Amino acid sequence: MPMSDTRAIRFGSWSRQFAGTPWRRALAVFVLAGLVGIMGLVIGAVKLSPLALLDAMAHPDSQAGLIALQLRLPRLLLALLCGGTLAVSGWIFQQVMRNALASPDTLGVTSGASAAAVAYLSYLAADWGTTGLPLAAMGGALAVIAVVYALAWRSGTTPLRLILMGIGMAALCSAITTFILVSSPLTTTLSAYVWLTGSVYGANWVEVRQLALWCAGLAVLLVPLVRFALLAPLDDALAVGLGVRVQRTRALLTLVATLLAGVAIAWGGAMAFVGLVAPHIARQVTRAPGVAQLLTSAALGATIVMLADLVGRTLFLPLDLPAGIFVAAIGTPFFLALLLREAR
């Protein structure tokens, strides 16, 4: 990248250099996400003009205000948070594993969260309600990554061993999920299938606040680790030479990525491929590693899920289809294309 594109910011002894092109491209992606968000507020069974949307903001008790602020906006924000969080999780996994195919799906995190959530819906939800579902999903994600780490540990771990163990655990958890669904009552199976597909249907402000708080807390944990995530693709010996405690840093980044995926899956369901597709597109957009690439991944993940939910909500009226169907429709051919490219 040309040096003329680089800018320096200094505050006393603190200084940082920023490459302008990746940040300008990141800003363009954020603008795209904003446009998709506005479309999500105005398009639906009841269409709202831009003026009607502004009037709804000014008069939240009106009919337009009810539609825009109580029905569509919470759903839009939940999709934004779920997509952005899954994308950040996938970006971290791909950095740590040094593999463009690494994601919460291929490492077993999504499958572990799904197995635990389906087990909760089948055996505990009747007595405890659905309030414990997020904790069950997060617990399942953490349990799987802990087992993956334990099985991959040989005086330390390597990205290849972690990926191989993750694929094996994903297959095992998928088998457990299928067994639970087969042996569960039909009503439980139907609700579990919708959750497994991934959906933000029926989102409310309580769920948005809960997920936002989790995301804010995990962002605080992630900020001091970002510089290590940027060094993670380096060879272990080179990273050690730069003063990085490789095993400790890899474990911390894996833990944060797992928690990010767990909370997104807990509130939005098991949306496949967001954590795989968004970081890869972000690399193609920014063309340079850095914080701009991380933020671009988050914006792209949010855009993908918001757009998928908009399509599922509007294109097949009066049906309201889960967003995960359309996320998978985008992600599956993309995943196959990545596999073919890696094979070549």
- What pLDDT does 2 receive? 46
Q: Residues near 177 by Cβ (< 8 Å), separated by ≥ 6?
A: 111, 114, 115, 118, 196
| Cβ 233 vs Cβ 91: under 8 Å | no
Q: How do residues 20-33 score in pLDDT, each as one tens digit?
A: 788 889 999 999 99
Q: What is the pLDDT of residue 15?
A: 58
Can you spell out the DSSP letters for 284-316? HHH-S-SHHHHHHHHHHHHHHHHHHHHHHHHTT
3-state SS assignment for residue 93 = helix
184 vs 58, higher pLDDT: 58
Q: What residue spans define the domains of the chain?
A: 37-343
The CATH homologous superfamily of the domain defined by 37-343: ABC transporter involved in vitamin B12 uptake, BtuC (1.10.3470.10)
The sign of the dihedral angle between the CA atoms of 199, 202, 205, 209 is negative
Write the pLDDT tens digit of every residue in 171-182: 999 999 989 888
pLDDT in tens, 63-115: 888 998 999 999 999 999 999 999 999 999 999 888 888 889 888 899 999 99
pLDDT-above-70 percentage for the chain:
92
**pLDDT per position as a tens digit, 184-217:** 777 677 778 877 888 888 889 999 999 999 999 9
Three-class SS state of 266: helix
Q: State residue 80's pLDDT score.
A: 96
